[in-house]
Amino acid sequence: MSTNPRQLGKYELRERLGSGGMAEVWKGFDTQLHRYVAIKIMHANLQNDPEFITRFVREARAIASLHHPNIVQIYDFQTVNPSESSNSLAYMVMDYVEGQTLAEYLRHSSGLGKSLSATDIVNLFASISRAIDYAHRHDMIHRDIKPANILLDKRNTTNNPMGEPILSDFGIAKLIGVASGTVTGTWLGTPMYTSPEQVQGQPGNVRSDIYSLGVILYEICTGIQPFRGETITAIALQHITTTPTAPDLVNPDIPPALSKVILRCLAKDPAARFGSASALTAAMASALNVPIPADIRVASSSEDATYPMDAPTVLVQEPGISQSRAMSSPGATPVQVAADSTVRSTSGPHAGQGSLETPVGGRPAISSLVDTGAEGATLLTTPAPPTAPAPPSTSVPGKRRRGLFIPLIALVILVVLGSGVGAFYWLTHSSTPTVGTNQSVGHVFLLSSGQVNEQSSQGINDELQIDLHNLSNPASGKAFYAWLLSDKKVTEASSILLAKLNVTNGGAQFNYAGDAQHSNLLASYSRFLITEEDASPTPIAPSVDRSTWRYYSELAQTVNPVDNFSLLDHLRHLLAKDPDLEPLHLPGGLDIWLYRNTQKVMQYSGSAKDCYQSGQTNCLRKNVIRILDYLDGKNYVQTDVPPGTPNLVDPRLGSVALLEFDPQNQNPPGYLYHINKHLQGIIQAPGATQDQRQIAAQIDKAINQVTSWLQKVRTYAKNLINTPDNQLLSPGSLSLLNDMDTQAGYAYSGQLDPATNQTQGGVLQIHHNIERLATFNVTAYTSS
What single DSSP character describes residue 101? Answer: B
Q: How far is CA 106 from CA 97, 109, 152, 367, 379, in A?
A: 18, 5, 11, 13, 16
Residues 6+ apart with CB under 8 A from 435: 689, 777, 779
Checking phi first, is residue 318 left (phi over 0); if not, alpha (psi -120 to 50) or beta? Answer: beta
- Greatest pairwise CA separation for the chain in angstroms: 91
Three-state SS at 710: helix
- Are the C-beta atoms of residues 657 and 636 closer than 8 Å to each other? yes
d(C-alpha 332, C-alpha 147), whole Å = 10
Catalytic residue among 144, 591, 629, 691: 144
d(C-alpha 673, C-alpha 663), whole Å = 8
Task: Give the strand pairing for 463-468 and 527-534.
Answer: unpaired
In this structure, the number of other CB atoms found within 10 A of the CB of residue 605 comes to: 28
**Closest Cα partner for 655 from 636, 634, 671?**
634
- Are the C-beta atoms of residues 553 and 528 closer than 8 Å to each other? yes
Torsion of CA 427, 428, 431, 437, to 10 degrees: -130
* 725 carries an active-site annotation: no
Checking phi first, is residue 539 left (phi over 0); if not, alpha (psi -120 to 50) or beta? Answer: beta
Cis bond upstream, residue 668 (ω within 30) = yes
- Are the C-beta atoms of residues 401 and 241 closer than 8 Å to each other? yes
d(C-alpha 776, C-alpha 773), whole Å = 9
Distance of CA 536 to the CA centre of its chain: 41
**Closest Cα partner for 397 from 452, 467, 460?**
467
Distance of CA 198 to the CA centre of its chain: 13
Q: How many CA atoms lie within 13 A of 153 on its CB side?
A: 20
- Are the C-beta atoms of residues 239 and 271 closer than 8 Å to each other? no
Residues annotated catalytic, as ranges? 144
